[in-house]
Amino acid sequence: MNEDTFITIDNKDIPIEREQNLLELIRKAGVDLPTFCYHSELSVYGACRLCMVDVEGMGLVPACSTPPSPNMKVKTNTEEIRKMRKIIVELLLANHSQNCPTCQKSATCQLQALARRLGITKIRFKNQSRDLPIDESSPSLVRDPNKCVLCGDCVRICSEVQTVGAIDFAYRGAQTVVIPSFGKDLDKVECVNCGQCARICPTGALTPKSEVDDVWRAIHNPDKVVIAQIAPAVRVAIGEIFGLEPGKITTGQIAAALRAIGFSKVFDTSFTADLTVIEESNEFIRRIQNKENIPQFTSCCPAWVKFIEQYYPEFVHNLSTCRSPQQMFGALAKEILSVQLGVKIEDIVVVSIMPCTAKKFEARRPEFSRDGIRDVDYVLTTQELGRMIEETGLHFNELGPESFNLPFGFKTGAGVIFGNSGGVSEAVLRYVTEKLTGERRENYEFKGVRGDNGIREIKFSLAGREFSMAIVSGLGNARKVLEDIKSGNGQYDFIEVMACPGGCIGGAGQPVYTDISIHQKRTKGLYENDRMLELHKSQDNPYISELYNSFLGDVGSPKAHELLHTHYKSRKRITDEDMYLSYSDKAEGLEINVCFGTGCFIKGSQKILRGVLDYISRNGLKNRVNVSASFCFEACDRGPVIRVGDRVIEQCTIEKATEAIEKEVEVYV
């Protein structure tokens, strides 16, 4: 044994391999060292100090930020360390909301788990928690600052992994809080509703927003027909809530549970995932043939769609016009079932069971409602469905499996693998390769698109043409790919993007996990489910063919466009009042407003604002104009944009702005 490659942890020699810090080595040694702020997918923060260890010659050091060196002698459980950990947790509890029994995250709260583990039965410090307002403005998330332990996990995943930065630390000392930009509500800032902050939050400070009570009310209303659709990723995760192995397929038990709860019919979102493949693939073929809006981006993930609307509106037309499978199902179900069941459309309540918090936001987009009636009424996460099952008193593991209702319950494996990163791309390849060549393929798997990397690229030849695809998960990776395209360093024909790392199986609505192996087991479960099904290609789904023949008409028909497609546009990053930079003494002074949205800012709106203010100062106009900056005029592709009086100037320059001011200002003399 070469001792130069080992360290000693609690009198046990542990080899140093590729570990970056002592914490990784200690966990390899089988010691579950407690920590709040350490995650392998995030940068090292070292704030909670729970992972302090005693290193001979160094004293107490944080294991998460201390690199290993040969011959180190480490103790993880001395009397001093144990006392220190207890004090830290007690202080956290003293500054924390005490309503733990009613907390949504009670069963998975790391703070509660640590208190039990350390044997804390009383808190010796005075409760210092502040009664701060709870932010319930978002359709997807609830932010309770009274339960925040300032670990910074949410801040780092939002900025480092998703590159959104919707929340951050503010103020200092005892007044420190984690809040959205400018101290505004979460729905007023650039949050994309992906919920990864809630997934990684160790307490109940950030949680998915529950719609359970709304669904119960609908179920108990005798005038309503309540139907459910279940997303692919739910079937490989909900069993974890009831002690089953991650990745275990529980489709039959889910269907049985939903009927026992009171749902009239139970369907599978994988059916409309098959439908999405048909529509999206044909859209892709048309774009390739017409050489327009290439690359084509997938549009199944609402967090990704909102991200591109906010940050890269110049690429909005590259998004597939296809609705997500969730929204396709809602539109079809209400249109068809209202006739079949003889009920009014408004009396059909569509409830989605999703792994995703952004789906709650998507269901409320104005594009997905007709005459004030939403296509999807409520969205429950996997966690929420688990709570409803528990509330009903059902023993999930003992339920006999039941099947979905037809026709919307029949699916192929192509629809099921949508829940994995790369699943949409593989499903499209299963269709396009046969469509373009006219030949049937016996081998349906395209393993080249599968994998764990956040950015994967594949090239292939088909029908005499070279194609390039990118599979992306995590919005930070999406940003890298978009910037490569803008700089000319990336050229693709088709790009799949999922906001959550690993795809929907890692969505924020799934059961809480910290072990990455759970992530991998869920992924494996969906691929195994695909193999167990009789059909693996969307074009082979007989009920999809019947839907086109009897109701939709041809692929891309007017009816298909009405129910299955939509459009997207540039979106304000931050909803806010204007920021005033110069005031007129006169109430009727000339109003000048400069757009400071991302698109305009990049194109030089800051320079124009500075030029306008200089012009006003030089010409003695300070008392005759009001100058303000707003966050977005929603004309990002035509920026910079400025409004002078009632005149909007697109692709503005300093010269155009000053010329307009000169003409308009005389009106306000």
Give me the CATH number covering residue 129: 3.30.70.20
- Domain stop point among 56, 77, 98: 77
Q: Please check whether residue 429 is in contact with residue 468, taking contact to mean a CB–CB distance below 8 angstroms.
A: no
**Residue 350 one-letter amino acid:** V
Q: How far, CA to CA in Å, does 612 sit from each of 383, 430, 604, 652?
A: 53, 56, 13, 12
Catalytic residue from among 109, 201, 504, 636: 504
Return the amino acid letter for 655. Answer: E
Residue 615: phi and psi, rounded to 5, are -60, -45
Three-state DSSP class for residue 473: strand
Q: Are residues 330 and 464 in the same domain?
A: yes
d(CA 516, CA 157): 15
Q: Residue for token digits 């609307």?
A: 309
Residue finishing a domain among 209, 233, 256: 209
User: Token pair of 538, please?
Assistant: 């969307």
State whether 92 and 177 are in the same domain: yes
546 tagged catalytic? no
Catalytic residue among 97, 299, 320, 352: 320
Cα distance between residue 88 and residue 28, in whole Å: 25
Q: Contact at 8 Å (CB) between 503 and 454?
A: no
202 cis-preceded (ω within 30 degrees of 0): no
222 beta partners: none
pLDDT along the chain (669 residues), means of 10: 73 89 91 83 79 92 91 92 89 81 84 86 79 93 92 92 93 88 88 95 94 97 97 97 96 97 97 97 95 95 96 93 97 95 95 97 95 95 97 96 96 96 96 93 92 93 91 96 94 96 95 88 96 96 96 92 91 62 59 81 84 86 80 75 89 90 71
**DSSP track, 53-80:** EEETTTEEEEGGG----TT-EEES--HH
d(CA 128, CA 229): 45
Same domain membership, residue 109 and residue 70? no
Any domain includes 372: no
- Is residue 400 packed enough to be buried (19+ CB in 10 Å), middle (13-18) or exposed (0-12)? exposed
**Containing structural domain, residue 445:** 265-349+401-564
Structure confidence at residue 2 (pLDDT) = 46
Question: Alpha-carbon distance 84 to 455, whole Å?
Answer: 42
The DSSP H or E segment spanning 518 is helix 516-532
Q: Are both 301 and 431 inside the same structural domain?
A: yes
For residues 557 and 586, membership in a common domain is answered with: no
Q: Are 449 and 456 in contact (CB under 8 A)?
A: yes
**Is the domain of 533 the same as that of 594?**
no
What residue type is 122 in one-letter code? K
Whether residue 486 sits in one domain with residue 446: yes
Angle in degrees, CA 490, 491, 496, rounded to 5:
90
Catalytic-labelled residue, pool 283, 384, 426, 496: 283
Query: What is the per-residue pLDDT for 587?
Result: 46
Is 249 within a domain?
A: no
Residue 509 carries which side chain, given as an amino acid letter? Answer: G
Q: Is residue 436 part of a domain?
A: yes
pTM reported for the whole predicted model: 0.85
Q: Report the alpha-carbon distance of residue 277 to residue 427 in Å, rounded.
A: 7
Catalytically annotated residue among 190, 279, 309, 362: 362
Active site residue 655: no
Cα–Cα dist 478/495, whole Å: 10
Cα 147 to Cα 51: distance, rounded to the nearest angstrom? 21
Tokens 């390039």 found at:
468
CB 44 within 8 A of CB 64: yes
- Catalytic residue, from 64, 191, 300, 301: name it: 300
Same domain, 13 and 138: no
Residue 557 maps to a domain: yes
In a domain, 343, yes or no: yes
According to DSSP, the residues that pair with 52 across neighbouring strands are 62
CATH number of residue 65's parent domain: 3.10.20.740
pLDDT for residue 484: 95
Please confirm, yes or no, whether 320 is among the known catalytic residues.
yes
Among 22, 53, 77, identify where a domain stops: 77
Residue with tokens 């002592």: 22
49 and 147, same domain (yes or no):
no
Q: What backbone phi and psi angles, to 5 degrees, belong to 184? A: -90, 170
Measured in whole angstroms, the distance separating CA 358 from the mean position of its chain's CA atoms is 6
Kindly state the DSSP code that residue 319 receives in the 8-state scheme: B
What letters, b where the CB count within 10 A reaches 16 and e where it falls short, cover 247-258? bbbbbebbbbbb
Same domain membership, residue 175 and residue 59: no
List the 455-462 sheet strands across, edge first: 296-297, 494-498, 465-473, 455-462
The reply to whether 415 and 480 lie within a common domain is yes
Residue 615 maps to which CATH number? 3.40.30.10
Do 128 and 73 lie in one domain? The reply is no
Classify residue 427 by its DSSP letter.
Answer: H
Q: Rounded distance, CA 65 to CA 415, Å?
A: 43
Provide the number of structural domains found in the chain: 4
Q: Is the dihedral of CA 535, 503, 143, 242 positive or negative?
A: positive
Cα–Cα distances in angstroms (integers) from residue 246 to residues 283, 513, 569, in the given order:
36, 10, 38
Contacts 24+ apart (CB under 8 A), 11-16: 16/68, 16/70
Question: Is 520 part of any domain?
Answer: yes
Catalytic residue check, 75: no
Distance of CA 646 to the CA centre of its chain: 39
Which three-class secondary structure string do you get for 62-127? EHHHCCCCCCCEEECCCHHHHHHHHHHHHHHHHCCCCCHHHCCCHHHCHHHHHHHHCCCCCCCCCC
Measure the N-to-C terminal CA separation of the chain; round to a whole number of Å. 90
> Does any domain span residue 647?
yes
pLDDT at 109: 87
Is 300 considered catalytic here?
A: yes
- Please, which residues bridge with residue 348 across strands? 225
Q: Is residue 574 assigned to a domain?
A: no
Q: Which of 3, 80, 367, 483 is catalytic?
A: 367
Of 240, 280, 384, 496, catalytic: 280
Q: Give the ranges where 172-240 is alpha helix by DSSP (H).
A: 196-200, 212-219
283 catalytic, yes or no? yes
- Distance in angstroms (rounded) separating the CA atoms of residues 24 and 12: 15
Q: Which backbone phi and psi does 374 adopt, to 5 degrees?
A: -70, 145
Sheet with strand 59-62: strands edge to edge: 12-15, 6-9, 73-75, 52-55, 59-62
